[in-house]
Chain A
């Protein structure tokens, strides 16, 4: 239906529509067929589970670690579908409950990874868009609002145009040095719109808003168009879930700051921020943000008004107030930890336990056992950091890449660390982040 409307409105788009059709067909036949029964291994009559679980963990880890320029100050609107389709029970207990639970985890993770960013939540229910919580930087507020929705039931039809219009209005005030994003979790396969949804999409493109969609059921053409138009033809932002774990993975992937595209680079500017210090008075006074009396708070560096929590904006002079730790929280996106490589059996006898946690590795078997029957090399369970050449177990690999973002071996002095933490080999070869030194005399 939507395709025909495009052809009627703009004849010049015919070729584009035709390409899109071929593209869509090509995409349909490219999905992977997983034959999980082929992956099972048998060792001495027992199923070898460890190799599979390790491979599963590794798969989660391997992502691109080139240090990209990323949008650190983000303004994200989360659009949740609360129509009848979310009452389906293909995700237990219902799609709606699962989405809300993951949303709460998403909110926590989002503010952990992006402390100076803002989030707003809008729901689509009964053909209209309902704001769940306004754009703010306070996670507890959002979590409270979402928890309140748990009692409500999904009802009615989803309206994409209304939701996108409301999101666009909420993002109108976002400054240009931050990113403007929309994440849409869509469970329905249709949308009821009062006007022309394509005009809304064009308005989003004009406002430089990037949209990404997570579909719970199947691919919907209008969502495909939304993602491709707002991201300059790149449809990698549109994903359909395969199972519950995949939904969680996709939502958490959005918490990572997006890489900046070439055109957006010209909008960088210098932001003035205040770094207040904590004060404690002997007598309570009112804080400027909530008018609640308290003895301790932070004084704005420019005008001296007291605010109770950071990060926040000074209510009097609109200066962004943050702690330096909030900025430091985003550094690991800019200086990511390089991926570790698996160690083949030939060099596995260098270590008998994990360097970081002292967990014992399996012993090196004789040479014949190094390859299994399909001539794939069996895993030696050792993972090596390419900079410091120490061996780690899979748990430390996961832990270091997902939680700590430091390599234990590199930090333990086997390589010297530069001022911003970039790691150098002892012969001066720079690995990892390849930036200029800041020339600071310490």
Chain B
């Protein structure tokens, strides 16, 4: 009866048929040292252009999709899009506060809140840093243009404000900071979406629990978010940020946010290199390309059910036709490889991924590194107080000095199953009662001294 009069249309859950909005957060590694190494194959300007095309594609998939971009620089993590004004350091702000209060009544001076991008109809830009592209691209779709302008402007100011000294100080990037910023932003957006759609303001963790226990699996009133990390820096430098990265990974796991990683290789990859076959025994890390890829980020995408791809940036083959001249070898750049990776693997929203076969790595190395020698060990000794891992080469030192991290006295020769190398206790032999003196009986045989 319901089907005949069409009332089913109203009783069914409509939102489950529409695709819910998806928030894509991109963390772009802008370490200048690393980009300089890869400059011959993929300059950063091309990479940013590819990224913008990818962002446009993501926004085109669904009218309500959102995007955010964070730069993970060598010494800080910085918002690229969306940005409002930047927090000024303490001393400067106190001087300018008086000026602001005077300008409050003045409508013509755009305050910081209103200084978002104005429509540049006349070609006069609302912001004063550098020329904008508005004159030539007034026919571009407005949302795309806004994002492009803001992103490029912020990136330019970020790179121009970096001094060579800061680049030399460290060769890693602040991935942990960028992840934390991304998570805070996702938290804010999810709460706003939740409030606007259902009117209930619940914290993100509560929402995640609610969707986990919800059997009907309708995620229509929860914003689906994911994080995409585009990274270049070598892996060893991230060891300093181990705990903050782990904390971010666990937060993402809890909130069902997949972390996708696109790793651009620093050394130009050999196109003849075969893709590694799946290993059936324990991984030998000296041979596989995991040596150059980031172990933490691999673990991150594995733990959060994301996609990890180590890109092979092969330059396009030389054109041999007569119409286009042969480009000289030095200008061969892998213009479109990155875009291909982005569009084919990373464009799908989390809810769609259930229906796709996503590229996954099966040889993720989860073995721990010991804290004393940084060896990768299959079995280790863990301090029960501070949970630091030690290898068996340090057993002597541990017995002497206690735990190397927290200083607790450790009983290496402990009790129970955890005891190893324990010297057996020699039980004193029982002396049997002697009857009528002299005869030793069934006790321990005494060595008879030869008479």
Contact = CB atoms under 8 A, between A and B. Distances in A.
A419 B404 CA distance: 14
Interface string A346-359: 01011111111111
Nearest to B417: A318
Interface in B217-254: 236, 239-244, 246-251, 254
Contact of B378 (A301, A325, A411, A438): A301
A356 B384 contact: no
A270 B418 contact: yes
Contacts of B379: 272-275, 301-302, 319
B395 to A, nearest CB: 8
A407 B174 CA distance: 13
Interface of A: 69, 72-73, 104-105, 108, 112, 175-178, 260, 265-266, 268-282, 296, 299, 301-302, 318-319, 323-325, 327-332, 334-335, 347, 349-360, 364, 389-391, 395-396, 398-400, 402-408, 410-414, 417-421, 435-436, 438-442
A270 B383 contact: yes
A389 B89 CA distance: 9
Contact of A411 (B176, B205, B280, B365): B176
A413 B76 contact: yes
8 contacts: A273-B380, A274-B378, A277-B283, A279-B282, A324-B366, A327-B368, A395-B188, A403-B204
Given A112-B254, A270-B381, A442-B374, A404 B76 contact: no
A72 B377 contact: no
A319 B247 CA distance: 27
A322 to B, nearest CB: 9
B246 A411 contact: no
Contacts, number: 276
B9 interface: no
Contacts of B398: 270
B415 interface: yes
Nearest to A391: B87
B382 A271 contact: yes
A272 B76 contact: no
Contacts of A359: 188
B1 interface: no
Contacts of B412: 269-270
Given A175-B418, A399-B187, A440 B378 contact: no
B407 interface: yes
B299 A279 contact: no
Nearest to A279: B280
A105 B411 CA distance: 37
A350 B362 contact: no
B184 interface: yes
Interface string B377-409: 111111111111110000000100001111111
Given A399-B187, A438-B388, A440-B371, A414 B76 contact: yes
B88 A350 contact: yes
Contacts of A301: 378-379
Contacts of B406: 69, 435
Contacts of B363: 278
B180 A400 contact: yes
Please list the 8 inter-chain residue pairs (A to B) with the smallest Cβ-Cβ separation, ordered nearest first: A413-B76, A421-B243, A412-B177, A411-B177, A356-B184, A324-B368, A301-B378, A269-B414
B75 A413 contact: yes
Contacts of B377: 275
Given A175-B417, A299-B282, A408-B181, 17 more contacts: A268-B408, A270-B412, A277-B366, A301-B379, A302-B379, A323-B368, A324-B367, A325-B299, A327-B368, A328-B243, A332-B243, A350-B93, A403-B255, A405-B251, A408-B177, A440-B371, A442-B239
